[in-house]
Structure 1
Amino acid sequence: MKNITKSVIALFAVLALSCSVEDVEDRPVIEGIDTPELVAPENDKSYILLEENADNVAERFVWTKATYAGNVEIGYKLLMDVKGGDFTDAIELGRTSGATQIEVSVRTLNQAVIELGGTPDELGSYDIKVVSSLAGIEKMMSETPLTILVNAYTGLIPYEFTDWYFVGDATVAGWNNNNKNQPLFRSGTNPNLYQFTGFFKAGEFKLISTPGQWAPMFGKGDNGAIVARPTEADPDPSNFAIATEGYYTFTMNTETLKYTLVAYDAAAAATFTTVGIIGDSTPQGWDASTALTQSTFNSHIWSLDVLPLNDGKAKFRANNAWDVNWGGNTAFSAFPNNGTSGGDLPVAKSKYKIYFNDLDGSYLMIPNQE
């Protein structure tokens, strides 16, 4: 099908600022002629996606070759939107250089449905289009969408851990149980072991596992013990006390029901202008960091409410440079000697709430966020 509007682009993708108007006008031009059009699979094909098949190929999408007025290498992107969508917020299913087909995995197709607001376990309609481009500039989109019907699963990745949060006037949230409460960092090698090193005001605190709820809870017992409050009908345990504001390390083990609270000397700790997350799982790959937000209560704590990450690796680094960086060898969470390392963190595709502590490299990445 002929492209109604023939576009003109310069052969060079990037123009130097010093180029003159005459230089631009003298350059050869390339015209887009035929748009790529999907030819497989058949229209209105249905897919029932199963989580156990996540790594399998869901479909091979095939399209006709786009043509331009010149012998050029063409790049393609396969996009998906809700039925009748205008593709301004479409999800990319994959891209190629030269080839006119892409295999899309069950996981990728399922994640696209979830990100487009699809309801798991319900059949939904989605449109697929192909975009061709030269050097990422000249784009032609297929005019007629291919419609598919998809029954997706939840798309949640396995996360069989309990997170614990501070509440109390010694902490950033005060006695509000749903006020951006600071979580503890969980060991990467022992899921029952938690630790946090940071600033506390003079005051008291407890631990809750669900923001907005007062139970389950842990409070202070005798002789280094923690006391559980499984439900709100159970007795309220005593508070942990901070006599003098400053930096402390709090550690607890929910299996042995023991805790420690010791002073931490942060006087010589480095301070950083920025801390970000970087890696092939992050939005900017290994080229640039995605900045985290610094806490106004404790300048060594950094966080992000929701960040979509892909399958891959990640690290944390300071000041957008590599001279100070932190890694880990366990997914989701770790603190020193319990999963942190100089290596790359393993990341599974999901949307994460991220916490990082530059005092010791502790990290917590909670998946399956909205």
Structure 2
Amino acid sequence: MKNIYKIVIAFVSVLFLSCNADAVDNRPVLEKISGSEMTLPATGKAFVLTEANAANAADKFVWTPAEYSYDVVVNYTLMMDKKGGDFSNPQVLATTTDVTEASVLVKNLNQAAIALGAVPGTASQYDIKVKWSVAGTESIVAQNTLTISVTAYTGLVPYPYTDWYLVGDATVAGWNNNNGNQPLFRSGTNSNLYKFTGYFKAGYFKVISKLGNWAPMYGGSGGSLVYRATEADSDPASINIATAGYYTFSINVQNLTYTLVPYDASSATVHSTIGLIGSSRTGTDAGWGEDTDMTKSTFDAHKWTLTLSLFDGEAKFRANNTWDVNWGGDKAFSGYPANGTGSGNIPVVRSKYKVYFNDLDGSYLMIPNQQ
């Protein structure tokens, strides 16, 4: 009797697998019928952009829909590159879903041109293409290219702040004034206050504001800062780190004071990955679905950097591509605990940024107008 049951079960299993295989074989195969192509604006159109019209639409860009053998959702990306470029690292002007047109603002077209090396006030030519994708398939880049001329304006983001960088044998840069120097994090509520919590070697350090230059500079001793305005002025004393370790260094450039106190980092988590996430990454809320990973310092495992172009939007930082550990802020450009950081989203305006992040306390610095 047992053998009969085994035979019946085996027969049913084979029949089930056969039916499933037939179901897989009979599924419709998605085939591309026609690709998407740019149609507007007319190729050769010239755009002379002005800052006064930054918030206006430069033009409407239109493309034909990509068609498939059955109805699917198609995601489109409108891209711009230098004339003759290979679109391996294009500027993204817009993203849409099942929509085959996008109005591009003057400021966004201008920033794309600046990011691609435009000289303000000089006409340059750029290629426009669209790429599209369907869930489960690779993106396809259109064959046809639309070429436009763009005369850009400077497009610099107003940034009325001074950044201060560590230099000295106690720091990551050594006594090199342009060697990946670690900046201090500026308060989001008082631009005279700066703070940095991190690792120092035994040695000495000062702070400089212009990479590649030895002035302006601050040095000092005993809690008092000494300012050096030009390289012709006397060189101030260096601040001493007697024992290697983690410290919090704070300065007040209005009162000319500083503090340097030990920091216990023994229980701090060393994260394997930290990423920047948010609508500023793509210009849409889709940017909240994926991180752009930052680069971890080999000198201090709690310091992270990233250079990238961002859109108008919001941003946060998170660890390990999940929301279990994340950091935010409510002030643009920079903040540290109780002075700009918090659980909110960091406001971002479109520009290319050098981003610095400290996972010990959530401090961030986002310097715009990068080349």
Same fold (TM over 0.5): yes
Q: CA deviation at 1:330?
A: 0.6
Q: Please tell me whether the aligned partners of residues 75 and 95 of structure 1 are also in contact (alpha carbons under 8 angstroms).
A: yes
State the one-letter code of the partner of 1:315. Answer: K
Alignment partners' CA distance in 2, 1:136 and 1:54? 38
Cα distance change on mapping 1:353 and 1:43 into 2, 3 Å: closer
Alignment partners' CA distance in 1, 2:143 and 2:273? 44
- Correspondence for 1:281: 280
Between 1:61-70 and 1:353-362, the stretch displaced more is: 61-70
- Correspondence for 1:249: 248
Cα distance change on mapping 1:24 and 1:127 into 2, 3 Å: farther
1:308 counterpart = 2:336 = no
Q: CA deviation at 1:151?
A: 0.4
Alignment partners' CA distance in 1, 2:132 and 2:301? 46
Cα distance change on mapping 1:139 and 1:288 into 2, 3 Å: closer
Q: Please tell me whether the aligned partners of residues 277 and 290 of structure 1 are also in contact (alpha carbons under 8 angstroms).
A: yes
- Correspondence for 2:266: 267
Q: CA deviation at 1:169?
A: 1.8
Cα distance change on mapping 1:220 and 1:145 into 2, 3 Å: same
Alignment partners' CA distance in 1, 2:263 and 2:140? 59
Q: CA deviation at 1:294?
A: 2.6
The TM-score with structure 2 as length reference comes to 0.83
1:236 counterpart = 2:235 = yes
Q: CA deviation at 1:144?
A: 4.5
CA distances 1:54-90 after superposition (whole Å, capped 9, x unpaired): 2210001234455555555555443333334454544
Alignment partners' CA distance in 2, 1:158 and 1:94? 24
- Correspondence for 1:186: 186
Alignment partners' CA distance in 2, 1:362 and 1:322? 18
Q: CA deviation at 1:37?
A: 4.5
Cα distance change on mapping 1:128 and 1:263 into 2, 3 Å: closer
Q: Please tell me whether the aligned partners of residues 316 and 328 of structure 2 are also in contact (alpha carbons under 8 angstroms).
A: yes
- Correspondence for 2:300: 298
Q: Please tell me whether the aligned partners of residues 328 and 345 of structure 2 are also in contact (alpha carbons under 8 angstroms).
A: yes
Alignment partners' CA distance in 2, 1:243 and 1:133? 58
Q: Please tell me whether the aligned partners of residues 304 and 355 of structure 1 are also in contact (alpha carbons under 8 angstroms).
A: yes
Q: Please tell me whether the aligned partners of residues 75 and 136 of structure 1 are also in contact (alpha carbons under 8 angstroms).
A: no
Q: Please tell me whether the aligned partners of residues 45 and 149 of structure 1 are also in contact (alpha carbons under 8 angstroms).
A: yes
- Correspondence for 2:97: 97
Q: CA deviation at 1:123?
A: 0.7
State the one-letter code of the partner of 1:280. Answer: S
Cα distance change on mapping 1:168 and 1:45 into 2, 3 Å: same
- Correspondence for 1:4: none
Larger radius of gyration, structure 1 or 2? Answer: 2
Alignment partners' CA distance in 2, 1:93 and 1:148? 14
Between 1:282-291 and 1:336-345, the stretch displaced more is: 282-291
Q: CA deviation at 1:357?
A: 1.7
Q: Please tell me whether the aligned partners of residues 40 and 63 of structure 1 are also in contact (alpha carbons under 8 angstroms).
A: yes
Classify the secondary structure of the residue corresponding to 2:47. strand
Q: Please tell me whether the aligned partners of residues 36 and 140 of structure 1 are also in contact (alpha carbons under 8 angstroms).
A: no
Alignment partners' CA distance in 1, 2:304 and 2:278? 17
Classify the secondary structure of the residue corresponding to 2:324. coil
Cα distance change on mapping 1:182 and 1:119 into 2, 3 Å: same
CA distances 1:129-166 after superposition (whole Å, capped 9, x unpaired): 34455447487766553332110123332222111111
Q: CA deviation at 1:49?
A: 1.0
Q: CA deviation at 1:197?
A: 1.5
5+ residue gaps, structure 2, are 1-19
State the one-letter code of the partner of 1:288. Answer: E
Q: Please tell me whether the aligned partners of residues 303 and 353 of structure 1 are also in contact (alpha carbons under 8 angstroms).
A: no
Alignment partners' CA distance in 2, 1:119 and 1:261? 44
Alignment partners' CA distance in 1, 2:109 and 2:80? 9
The Cα RMSD (Å) is: 2.9
Q: CA deviation at 1:216?
A: 0.7
> Matched residue pairs, number?
350
Q: Please tell me whether the aligned partners of residues 294 and 306 of structure 2 are also in contact (alpha carbons under 8 angstroms).
A: no
Between 1:321-330 and 1:85-94, the stretch displaced more is: 85-94
Percent identity over paired residues: 57
CA distances 1:20-56 after superposition (whole Å, capped 9, x unpaired): 9977664434554455444433332221112232221
Alignment partners' CA distance in 2, 1:135 and 1:279? 22
- Correspondence for 1:326: 327
Q: CA deviation at 1:368?
A: 2.0
Alignment partners' CA distance in 2, 1:207 and 1:141? 48
Cα distance change on mapping 1:179 and 1:75 into 2, 3 Å: closer
- Correspondence for 1:317: 318
- Correspondence for 1:7: none
5+ residue gaps, structure 1, are 1-19
Alignment partners' CA distance in 2, 1:265 and 1:71? 59
Alignment partners' CA distance in 2, 1:318 and 1:37? 39
1:212 counterpart = 2:208 = no
Alignment partners' CA distance in 2, 1:173 and 1:141? 42
Cα distance change on mapping 1:76 and 1:178 into 2, 3 Å: closer
Alignment partners' CA distance in 2, 1:64 and 1:197? 53
1:360 counterpart = 2:358 = no
Q: CA deviation at 1:298?
A: 2.3
